[in-house]
Amino acid sequence: MAGIICRNIANFDEEAWNAKAPETAYVCCSEKFRKYPRAAKELIRSYPCTLAEASSELPWGCGMSLKNPKVTDKKLWKGQGIMGRVLETIREELMAEQPELVEEQNTRLKEVRSPAPWDVSLPTDTSEDPTEWS
């Protein structure tokens, strides 16, 4: 959506935007996950799953809708998956910074079946509304 809005700006330089957008997304998302510990915990809980934005918005998403039954087949993804890679990078950093959450996740993984690559970790604690993380 941001790309569409930006393209309507006079003298918009798409090449410059594409060069800076992933870094900007990283900084914004990183700050959000560091500000909201519950969000950080849920991101860590997504480990070891590959993360991707299931949308047709390229280059951010995988180029497929979540409703597409083939969305779990990474070989068919058309997008660069920038948002998924940004989130995976932040997840790795958070895991290095918060080893107690990693241990909690390792324990959880031992207690449940091994997750499939397309499993989505949803919040199980409903005491905090994820829509209020912003």
- Pairwise CA distance, residues 48 & 54, whole Å: 18
**Would you place residue 115 in the very low, low, confident or very high pLDDT band (cuts 50, 70, 90)?**
low
DSSP classification of residue 131: G
Domain with 85 in it: 2-109
Average pLDDT over residues 87-116: 83
Asked if residue 57 is part of any domain, the answer here is yes
Within a domain: 70? yes
Higher pLDDT, 83 or 127: 83
The model's pTM: 0.72
Would you give the end-to-end CA distance of the chain in angstroms?
18
Instruction: Examine residue 27 and state whether it is found in any structural domain, yes or no.
Output: yes
Averaged pLDDT, 55-76: 88
Domain membership of residue 19 (yes or no) is: yes
pLDDT at position 116 over 60: no
Region 9-31: mean pLDDT is 88
Q: Is residue 68 part of a domain?
A: yes
Is pLDDT above 70 for 56? yes
- Report residue 105 as tokens: 């996740």
Specify whether the CB–CB gap between 81 and 52 falls below 8 A.
yes
Residue 71 lies in a domain: yes
Confidence band (pLDDT; 50, 70, 90) for 4? low
The total of structural domains in the chain comes to 1
Position 122 in a domain: no
81 CB contacts (<8 Å, ≥6 apart)? 52, 53, 59, 60, 61, 62
- 52, part of any domain: yes
